[in-house]
Amino acid sequence: MGFGSLWHWAIVLIVVLIFFGRGRISEIMGDFGSGIKNFKQGMDDDGPQSAPPPVRIAASETVASPASTETPAGASRD
């Protein structure tokens, strides 16, 4: 009786059905199938995405530091 004989697999199948039952095996296979489906969906979502080009800031758009700002006429600096 070899590993690949028909009787060997028939006995294994009967033992598995006794331990798990038909309903439990179908649940396991359904969960397995949905897991594969979710995995494939996740792989498609994580596909190569191009990054937006960097934004260039012109020299005239730079922000002045607070120490170099001017005070309005007549206002005193503390």
Q: How far is CA 67 from CA 17, 64, 70, 73, in A?
A: 81, 8, 8, 17
Write out the two tokens for 22. 């038909």
- For residue 36, what pLDDT is reported? 93
- For residue 37, what pLDDT is reported? 93
Return the domain boundaries, the chain.
1-44
- For residue 78, what pLDDT is reported? 55
- For residue 60, what pLDDT is reported? 66
- For residue 21, what pLDDT is reported? 81
The 10s digit of each residue's pLDDT in 12-69 is 888 888 888 878 878 888 999 999 999 998 887 765 666 677 787 776 655 656 655 5
If one compares 78 and 21, the residue with the highest pLDDT of the two is 21
